[in-house]
Amino acid sequence: MAAKHILLVEDVYYNQVLIESLLIDWGYTVSIVKNGEEALAIMREQNFDLIVLDIMMPVMDGFTFLDEKRKAKIDLPVVILSARNDMKSIQKALELGAQDYVAKPFNSYDLRNKISLYLD
31-48 tens-digit pLDDT: 999 999 999 999 999 999
Residue 120 pLDDT > 80 = no
To the nearest 10°, report the CA torsion of 35, 104, 28, 78: -60
Residue 89 pLDDT > 90 = yes
Distances in Å between the alpha carbon of 3 and those of 22, 36, 38, 97? 14, 24, 23, 24
Range of the domain at 28: 5-119
Give the per-residue pLDDT at 3. 87
Cis amide linkage into residue 58, ω under 30° from 0? no
Q: Percentage of residues in the chain with pLDDT exceeding 90?
A: 95
Query: Can you give the CATH number for the domain in which 62 is found?
Result: 3.40.50.2300
Determine contact, residues 26/113, Cβ cutoff 8 Å: no
Tens of pLDDT, residue by residue over 43-63, are 999 999 999 999 999 999 999
Q: How many domains does the chain have?
A: 1
Among the listed residues 11, 12, 31, the one whose alpha carbon sits nearest the alpha carbon of residue 20: 31
